[in-house]
Amino acid sequence: MLFLSPDDLENFLSRNDLSNDISASVELGISSKLFLGNYNEQKTFAVSSSKPRVVHMSGLGEIKDLTPEKLRRICAKAIRAVMDTKVDSLSVLLSNNFPEGFECGKLITESLSLGSYQFKKYKTSDSDDSLTPQINVTIFDPFQISSQDSIERGVSIARGTNFTRDLGNTAPNDLTPDDLRQVAQDLAETSDGKLKFSFFDEEKMSELGMHMFLGVSKGSEVPGRMVFLEYFPEKAKHTVALVGKGITFDTGGISLKPGKGMDEMKFDMCGSGAVLGTMQAIVELELPINVIGVLAAAENMPDGKAQKPGDIVKAYNGKTVEILNTDAEGRLVLGDALSYTADHYKPDCMIDLATLTGACIVALGHLSIGAITNDQNLCESIIESGERTGDRVWQLPNYSDYGELIKGKHADLQNIGPPGEAGTVTAGVFLQHFVNDVPWVHLDIAGTAWGVKGIDYHPANSASGSGVRLLIDFLENLSYSA
């Protein structure tokens, strides 16, 4: 695989490190103007010898216009084209044509892996036309424009993102709250002691007074779990808590959702999935920062014991909440998880991730994460990480007036605001009551966790892994700051 801009074409033919077959294919493509090097132009040429079978050329466009996000999309489209040829290995030859400061090794390895993602767990036949062989990728870097460390970082980040995708795509009968607990435990047990695992069962949560969480869980025959992973390396200067919504299936409870599209509610645990993918990656990357990963895992089901509209429950922090709609359950499990995490760990900052509101999809579609914060500097750092990674974030307002919309009639709070009014904002404002003044950002990934279209490295009909690359970039930058 070759990456070429229009200006590279003539110079590339004079290279003496290419085999005759590759040179012939490249020369044919260039001289016949079948390949011009335009942005995201993709051409595959058959080679006469047995190895390599094909040469694939990807157009970078004008180098002055190339951005990291453009390169991600080029790579993802390229790997899909190569996969269609059914090859099982790929050699990528880097040129010295990338802009100065580009982490091209990281970007290319990350994007090739993200672009080639397939979820095969439930396919029973390798002959399925929708599947292609997994490709082993080797990077050749004769000009040493990218370090091995950069390449390995790209691999780790993609691995964490694809792990999150796998969790999101897993059928809900195979990923209950206790299964999610087991995934976290397995991650800790394979971390060479870098992760410490613990969890609360429902009896422990009852002792602690986490009745918002328990109200959601009590309609299911499968008990809820609150799971903790601690990553505390030596000489870390900062402590960050990541809290993920982990509703492994959401029927809406007594406030039952419509049947159409309810199968997609297996994705309602993607916040917890993003936390797990991030924890896996930071262990591999050995980041010098303390990170606590918290999973608020439950099912939201209708049952004779299920929570009802009109119920009033008391949270871990003592606030009372009137339940007006049982389908606004994510903020309830997150609220108890956030307040316990803030109280017990006293982190420097907290970030929660949740497929929280359909209103976020109405506002932002599937192309941006919605953010609510109590700390502008923290939120701006998150937004900057989103711009660098393509995991984009848009900040929504947090005016004090929004708090009036969730004041309860018979309790301190109610779990929804007025229908049709600022649903994403009021959900975030609700969560702010449980962060104990710790600097905090709420990330609503309802639109970005699945259903993303038009971005080459996000697979169709699949969980996207939203939030993982964003969090890793944020944690990397914070870990090396003063």
Distance CA 69, CA 390 (A): 6
Question: Is 257 known to be catalytic?
Answer: yes
Q: What SS3 class is residue 113? A: helix
**Cα gap 414→322, rounded to integer Å:** 5
- DSSP class per residue in 405-450: GGB-SSSSEESS-STTS-HHHHHHHHHHTTSTT--EEEEE-TTTSB
- Single out the residue of 18, 227, 35 nearest to residue 140, CA to CA: 18
Taking the C-alpha atoms of residue 474 and residue 386, their distance in angstroms, rounded to an integer, is 9
Question: What's the CA dihedral at 139, 142, 148, 150 to 10 degrees?
Answer: -80
- The strand pairing partners of 57, in sequence order, are 2, 43
> Distance between CA 272 and CA 429 in Å, rounded?
20
| DSSP-assigned beta bridge partners for residue 393 | 369
- Measured CA to CA, the distance from residue 385 to residue 380 in angstroms comes to 9
Structure tokens at 114: 């993200």
In whole angstroms, what is the distance from residue 20 CA to residue 142 CA?
A: 18
Q: How many CA atoms lie within 13 A of 419 on its CB side?
A: 3
Q: Which of 106, 181, 331, 469 is catalytic?
A: 331
The C-alpha atoms of residue 5 and residue 274 are separated, in whole angstroms, by 35
Q: How far apart are CA 453 and CA 6, in angstroms?
A: 29
- What phi and psi, each to the nearest 5 degrees, are found at residue 139? -100, 125
Closest CA to 108 of 90, 129, 132, 84: 90
Instruction: Write out the two tokens for 82.
Output: 């190569």
The active-site residue out of 53, 159, 257, 314 is 257
Q: Where are the alpha helices (DSSP H) in 297-413?
A: 330-345, 358-364, 376-389
Give the CA distances from residue 88 to residues 45, 51, 80, 136, 355, in Å, rounded to whole numbers and listed in that order: 16, 12, 13, 6, 36
Residues assigned a catalytic role: 257, 331
